[in-house]
Amino acid sequence: MVTLGSVKEREYSLIETGEYILTLSDLEETDGQWGTRLIWKFLVGTKEDPTGYVCNANGEERTIWAFTDVDIILGSLGHEFVEKLTGKTFTKDSAPPSEDDLLGRRVGAFITHETPKTGKNAGKKREAIVQGSIKPFKGPQPNKVIAPNAPARTEPTAAESERAAKVEALGKLIGRAVKLETPNHAAYVALDLDVGDVDQLEQLIVTVRAEVQDALDS
């Protein structure tokens, strides 16, 4: 007999408060209740090992996010980021930096914990970058972020794109077969779609599609 545990919210381990080296890995725009905002996403390393990024339990690099206005407001967190990342002073008449001027560059900063009082995350403790603590990084600045041991990203070939499209189409058909409980749906679920060439995938698409259609017609 199975005994279920108590009902509770998912718990996440937080990065300990302290000074870290942050590497800007991504910069995005998002629209919300406060209008268009920038999301700054940083990988987190220690002063002793800036590229030994803090990881989640599954081994993926942890990121800490900060939200700012799209405009570089003098004295704001966004203003601190662009000045400390680029090592340049930005005044009212300065041209803003490009995304390429910022991505992959590092700063030192203090991470603390905060608990929002409003919004969907109200009452849930999270990490936050302390405004005013951001410092230029005293060390070599990389040109871009490459995760440890990760291969360089390349554009897929035409054959790879075609195969990916076939796999996606077959996956959707298998999903329909499962919902309809077709005679061979269990066998389809067990298929390894990472093997087989385009012709074999096309033959499977024809087979599964026919079985799905038979189930719909019956």
39 and 99 inside one domain: yes
Going by their DSSP bridges, the two strands 63-69 and 35-45 should be labelled as antiparallel
pLDDT recorded at residue 102: 93
Domain membership of residue 143 (yes or no) is: no
108 and 181 inside one domain: no
Domain membership of residue 198 (yes or no) is: yes
Domain membership of residue 147 (yes or no) is: no
59 and 132 inside one domain: yes
pLDDT recorded at residue 9: 62
Token pair for residue 202?
């096309």
Distance CA 98, CA 78 (A): 13
186 and 112 inside one domain: no
90 and 181 inside one domain: no
30 and 126 inside one domain: yes
Domain containing 162 equals 158-217
Domain membership of residue 200 (yes or no) is: yes
68 and 99 inside one domain: yes
Token pair for residue 132?
């005013």
Domain membership of residue 149 (yes or no) is: no
Domain membership of residue 112 (yes or no) is: yes
Pick the last residue of a domain from 104, 136, 168.
136
72 and 164 inside one domain: no
Domain membership of residue 8 (yes or no) is: no
114 and 174 inside one domain: no
Check whether 150 has a pLDDT greater than 60. no
pLDDT recorded at residue 128: 92
Going by their DSSP bridges, the two strands 18-32 and 106-114 should be labelled as antiparallel
Please give the tally of structural domains in the chain: 2
Tens digit of each residue's pLDDT (9 = 90 or more) over 168-215: 787 888 888 888 888 887 877 777 767 667 788 888 888 888 888 888
- 150-183 b/e (C-beta count within 10 Å ≥ 16 → b): eeeeeeeeeeeeebeebbebbeebbebbeebebe
Tens digit of each residue's pLDDT (9 = 90 or more) over 30-76: 887 667 899 999 999 998 999 889 888 778 888 999 999 999 999 99
8 A C-beta contact, residue 108 and residue 19: yes
Token pair for residue 61?
């690099």
Overall average pLDDT of the 131-140 stretch: 89
Distance CA 20, CA 50 (A): 8
51 and 127 inside one domain: yes
Domain membership of residue 30 (yes or no) is: yes
66 and 174 inside one domain: no
Check whether 22 has a pLDDT greater than 70. yes
125 and 162 inside one domain: no
Question: How far is residue 103 from each of residues 6, 86, 98, 184, measured CA to CA in Å?
Answer: 43, 10, 9, 49
Contacts for 112-119: CB closer than 8 Å, 24+ residues apart: 112/17, 113/14, 113/17
